[in-house]
Amino acid sequence: MKENKIHRRRFIFDTSAALALAAFKTNSFNLFSTPPTRRVALIGTGWYGKSDLFRLIQVAPVEVVALCDPDKQQLNKAAEMISERQKNKKKPVVYGDYRKLLSEQNPEIVLIGTPDHWHALTAIEAMKSGAHVYVQKPISVDVLEGEAMLAAARKYKRVVQVGTQRRSTPHLIDAKKNIVDAGLLGKISHVEMCCYYHMRNNGDPAVQPVPDFFDYEMWTGPAPLRPYDGLPHVRWWRTFMEYGNGILGDMCIHMFDSVRWMLNLGWPKRISSTGGIYNDKTGKSNIADTQTAVFEYEELNCIWQHRSWGTPADPEYPWSFKIFGEKGTLCGSTMKYDFIPVGKAEKIHRDVLFEKEKYPEDLKEPGIELNAAPATRLHMLNFLEAIDKGIKPVADIEQGHISTASCILANLSMQLGGRHLIYDPVKKEVVGDAEATKLLQRKYRSPWIHPLPENV
């Protein structure tokens, strides 16, 4: 027990030092220079949009010049909160249309915290305006949106960091370096990923008039216009495929992206998936409550399973990945990791890093994920360093696209009866499958126009 405590103290010291070093590296200035104050805008002022912005404010000198949201009440409340957190105490200018914000404010950095169906249009327009972009995952709701976002980032030479912050999670960075890269797993031939949270919001609220403070047309944008049945914020919109890609697109992308990063994996060779609504058929939700997906690589299958009902297969790791090697197993989650070796070698355990003492304001922030805050701060520092140095960030748009599109392709496989899909990112088609290829692009609601990689 004493040895474990020493290891943990050493780990916290090492990761804190790494955070400080990353902060120092963020700007290529000498010790006596003053870092520039960056003009920042936030599009989508809900829960995680504000959370990302507050983490950025904590690690860099920024001025939040503008906010955009179709909900005036949410927008104005966010402006008040941000004015309290900003060093200059200024209240950002508020907008209901992101295009007007971009044309009038010319921010250097744009954070996008909208629902998934708005990520592509807002990100591409922000890049065109000259801004670097931090966009939440999944980056898109269809594959060709993601291809267009990647093309725009390269064409306009913008840095785009995706909110897959497991790549910046201190204890998982430790696992990659000291377990995976160090060869403790040996040959890796199997991966399992899962989410067993009861997170499928379901219900049958009545259709009602749209409140005056909410621009439902703008909120819906390019997605199908559902009958209004209450504010869609927080988790209600996530229960509909019209706006996202279900639990696979919300939760699998984090774990699959983590595994790809740890194992240096690119596009899967083949993808397949089965599932549906097996357990709870009441209410309006149309996302799968049960689903299995297989992402195939050479002599390696990465298998995803989610159930929004029942009990988790492993209560210690209800949302997690498990990497199986000939010499041992690595279990990882947002909260910890465990290495279980074959034989009598020593087990290794690491816990999440909290920074409550360093950032006491975290404790007063509504809805904050305290376990994710240090990772997001490090993710923001990496984003800023990439901007200053003109390099790709750790969660570059291409990596976010591969992880997102793979999850989308799994959903398409389920929709098509579980058949195997092979995606060609050069030709941007599903090999030998015209029906699946047609599904790579969703139909947009008029007057919105779907972005394509050749047109950005």
Average pLDDT, the chain: 93
Tally of domains within the chain: 2
pLDDT single digits (tens) 328-380: 999 999 999 999 999 988 999 999 999 999 999 999 999 999 999 999 999 99
* Contact assessment for residue 111 and residue 134, using Cβ atoms and an 8 Å cutoff: yes
* Token pair of 294 as six digits: 């297989």
Residue 44 lies in a domain: yes
Question: Mean of the pLDDT values across residues 61-67?
Answer: 97
Separation between Cα atoms, residue 261 and residue 271, nearest integer Å: 18
Separation between Cα atoms, residue 341 and residue 348, nearest integer Å: 9
Question: Mean of the pLDDT values across residues 41-60?
Answer: 97
* Shared-domain flag, residues 332 and 295: yes
* Shared-domain flag, residues 174 and 161: no
pLDDT single digits (tens) 267-299: 999 999 999 999 999 999 999 999 999 999 999
pLDDT of residue 20 exceeding 50, the answer is no
pLDDT single digits (tens) 297-311: 999 999 999 999 999
Q: Where are the alpha helices (DSSP H) in 264-396?
A: 373-389
Separation between Cα atoms, residue 150 and residue 153, nearest integer Å: 5
Where does a domain end: 132, 166, 200?
Answer: 166
* Shared-domain flag, residues 45 and 160: yes
Percent of the chain with pLDDT over 70: 93
pLDDT of residue 398 exceeding 50, the answer is yes
Count how many Cα atoms sit within 13 Å of the Cα of residue 200 in the half-sphere of its side chain: 30
* Contact assessment for residue 179 and residue 384, using Cβ atoms and an 8 Å cutoff: no
Where does a domain end: 166, 185, 218?
Answer: 166
Q: How many CB atoms lie within 10 A of CB 455?
A: 11
* Shared-domain flag, residues 244 and 101: no
Residue 175 lies in a domain: yes
Residue 446 lies in a domain: no
* Contact assessment for residue 157 and residue 392, using Cβ atoms and an 8 Å cutoff: no
Q: Cα dihedral sign for 46, 113, 332, 246?
A: positive
* Shared-domain flag, residues 286 and 180: yes
3-state secondary structure of 132: strand
* Contact assessment for residue 279 and residue 237, using Cβ atoms and an 8 Å cutoff: no
- H/E element holding 359? none
Residue 391, phi then psi, degrees to nearest 5: -120, 170
* Shared-domain flag, residues 336 and 190: yes
pLDDT single digits (tens) 24-39: 344 444 444 677 899 9
* Shared-domain flag, residues 207 and 89: no
Separation between Cα atoms, residue 12 and residue 18, nearest integer Å: 10
Separation between Cα atoms, residue 281 and residue 285, nearest integer Å: 8
* Shared-domain flag, residues 16 and 119: yes
Question: Mean of the pLDDT values across residues 397-402?
Answer: 98
Per-residue CA distances from 415 to 104, 179, 271, 410 (Å): 43, 37, 13, 9
Separation between Cα atoms, residue 121 and residue 222, nearest integer Å: 9
CATH of the domain at 58: 3.40.50.720
pLDDT of residue 10 exceeding 90, the answer is no
pLDDT at 79: 98
Residue 443 lies in a domain: no
* Shared-domain flag, residues 339 and 288: yes
Separation between Cα atoms, residue 359 and residue 378, nearest integer Å: 13
Separation between Cα atoms, residue 8 and residue 45, nearest integer Å: 37
Say how far residue 177 (Cα) sits from the centre of its chain.
Answer: 22
Pick 115 or 32 by higher pLDDT: 115
Which pLDDT band holds residue 21 (cuts at 50, 70, 90)? very low
Burial of 349 (0-12, 13-18, 19+ CB in 10 A): middle
Residue 88 lies in a domain: yes
Separation between Cα atoms, residue 302 and residue 363, nearest integer Å: 37
* Shared-domain flag, residues 147 and 205: no
pLDDT at 34: 73
Residue 362 lies in a domain: yes
Where does a domain end: 98, 133, 166?
Answer: 166
* Token pair of 79 as six digits: 């402006």
pLDDT at 127: 98
CATH of the domain at 312: 3.30.360.10
pLDDT at 129: 98
* Shared-domain flag, residues 23 and 155: yes
pLDDT at 222: 98
* Shared-domain flag, residues 46 and 79: yes
In 335-411, which ranges are E strands?
Answer: 336-341, 348-351
pLDDT at 33: 62
Burial of 453 (0-12, 13-18, 19+ CB in 10 A): middle
Residue 451 lies in a domain: no
Residue 338 lies in a domain: yes
**Domain that residue 357 falls in:** 170-366+398-438
DSSP readout, 235-265?
TTGGG-TTTS-HHIIIIIHHHHHHHHHHHT-
